[in-house]
Amino acid sequence: MLLEVIDADFQGLYNFFYLPIDFKNKCNVGYAFLNFIEPYYCDLFWKKFAGRRLTGFRSRKVCDVSWGRVQGLKSNIEHYRNSSIMSLPCQEYKPLLFKNGVIVPFPPPNSQQKHKQETPSTPN
């Protein structure tokens, strides 16, 4: 439903979307992550959504737009591809990748990176 609101003005202008879910309550946690294909579209999104109340949602909260800690498509892919989120059976709980407004498959886990994280460093 949130994607429908975003797509009304920004379909095809972002390549990454993730709406974190509270698994206990089975609802979103109140924020989402987007990566736009160009910084210009991020500026437009900021102007359109900052302070806006989304109609059609039960919440009376207004949108607050801010920068995410992880920036860029490649960085978001690397951040999430080995995440336990990606092994969940429920597709709508996972981050999404887009190309020209169409969902494309997320790259598989990078086992080398997993191995690197699990290997303790040894002194020289």
Strand boundaries in the chain, DSSP class E: 14-18, 21-22, 27-28, 33-36, 96-99, 102-104
Q: Would 100 be classed as within a structural domain?
A: yes
Q: Would 124 be classed as within a structural domain?
A: no
Q: Would 112 be classed as within a structural domain?
A: no
Q: Would 39 be classed as within a structural domain?
A: yes
Domain hosting residue 34, numbered range: 2-104
3-state helix, strand, coil in the chain (%, to 5): 35, 20, 50
Total domain count for the chain? 1
Residue 29's CATH number: 3.30.70
Q: Would 118 be classed as within a structural domain?
A: no
Note down pLDDT in tens along the chain; length 124 residues. Answer: 899 999 999 999 999 999 999 888 888 888 999 999 999 999 999 999 999 988 877 778 889 999 999 999 999 999 999 999 998 888 889 999 999 999 999 999 986 544 333 333 444 4
Question: Which pLDDT does position 123 carry in this prediction?
Answer: 46
DSSP 13: S
Q: Would 72 be classed as within a structural domain?
A: yes
Q: Would 123 be classed as within a structural domain?
A: no
